[in-house]
Amino acid sequence: MLLVFVACNESENQDETVVSKKDTVLVDTISEVDTVETIIELNKFRIEKLKEYSDSVNAYFQTFDWGQKDYVCNCKIDTEITDNYIHYSYRFKNPFDIFEFKTNEEASDYFNELMTIELVKSFGLNKRPNHILVDSNKVYWQRFEHPYGHRMKDINKIFKQVFNFYPHSSNLDSITGFNYCKHRNNPDTNLTDIFGNWYTDEFVKMDTIYHLSGASYNGIIKKHIDTVLLKITKDSISINKDRYKYSVYSSNKLPDASYYWKYRFIIHGISDKKNEKITKEFSGILEDLSKYRGEIIDYHVWVKYGERYSSFFIAKTNNNEIYLTLDNRFYILHKVE
Domain segments of the chain as ranges: 36-177, 192-335
**Rounded CA separation 80/96 (Å):** 14
Buried b (16+ CB within 10 A) or exposed e, 304-329: eeeeebbbbbbbbbeeeebbbbbbbb
Alpha-helix runs per DSSP H in the chain:
36-44, 47-62, 104-120, 146-149, 152-163, 257-264, 280-289
- Partnered with residue 199 across adjacent β-strands are 229, 334
Comparing CA positions, the residue from 93, 59, 43, 98 lying closest to residue 73 is 93
pLDDT tops 60 at residue 88 = yes
How much of the chain, in percent, has pLDDT values that exceed 70? 79
Helix, coil or strand: residue 135: strand
Neighbours of 225 (CB within 10 A): 16
The reported pTM is 0.81
| Residue-wise pLDDT tens digits, 106-115 | 999 999 999 9
| Residue-wise pLDDT tens digits, 207-231 | 755 444 444 445 678 888 999 999 9
